[in-house]
Amino acid sequence: MSAWTEDRIDQLKRLWPEGRSAEAIARELGGGLTRNAVLGKVSRLGLSQARSGGRPRREAADLKAPEPPPDGAATILSVKRTECRWPYGEPGDAAFSLCGRPAARGAFCTAHATIAYRPAPMSVEGLMRLAGVTP
């Protein structure tokens, strides 16, 4: 015997467009219905499109155009150990080059080192120590 009686289906059709979650509807209908059972029935009844889309979408961030390589950019064969090896372009392209500015830290110039080297996020234990809380 199906757990979906006509009365339950009518309740589902009334509750779903109100924007309630599938879990909340399952609790309200009772009888051992699960969230997934509610979602399956909603899909089979074609109710999925009947509700609003939740949170509004965020606007896409304005993406900056990639900065052009500096004048005198180095090629993979001409770059020296003391020069920045930040890549510009795709490795297979003829226009592929490397920054070539003096390397300040490791393989990169100061500007590219700030992009390449980020501090590791602090662990929960580290945050607790910083706050003076003993774990």
Residues 45 and 75 in one domain: no
Residue 27 above 90 pLDDT?
yes
Residue 61 lies in a domain: no
Residue 133 lies in a domain: no
Q: Which amino acid is at 105?
A: R
Residue 88 lies in a domain: yes
Residue 53 above 70 pLDDT?
no
Residue 70 has, within 13 A of its CA and on its CB side, a CA count of 16
Which tokens in the block code for residue 2? 């199906």
Residue 25 lies in a domain: yes
Residue 135 above 70 pLDDT?
no
Q: Which candidate, 45, 55, 48, places its Cα nearest to that of 17?
A: 48
Instruction: Output the pTM of the full model.
Output: 0.41
Over range 23-37, report the average pLDDT. 91
Instruction: Round the average pLDDT of the chain to a whole number and report it.
Output: 82
Residue 10 above 90 pLDDT?
yes
Residue 52 above 60 pLDDT?
no
Residues 73 and 111 in one domain: yes
User: Residue 74 pairs with which residues in a beta bridge?
Assistant: 98
Q: What is the span of the domain harbouring residue 115?
A: 68-119
Secondary structure (3-state) at 61:
coil
Residue 107 above 80 pLDDT?
yes
Residues 41 and 77 in one domain: no
Which pLDDT score, from 0 to 100, does residue 25 have? 92
Q: Which candidate, 48, 53, 51, 47, places its Cα nearest to that of 13?
A: 47
Q: How far apart are CA 101 and CA 79, in angstroms?
A: 10
Q: How many domains does the chain have?
A: 2
**What is the length of the chain?**
135
Residue 128 lies in a domain: no
Residues 46 and 83 in one domain: no
Q: Which amino acid is at 64?
A: K
Residues 84 and 43 in one domain: no
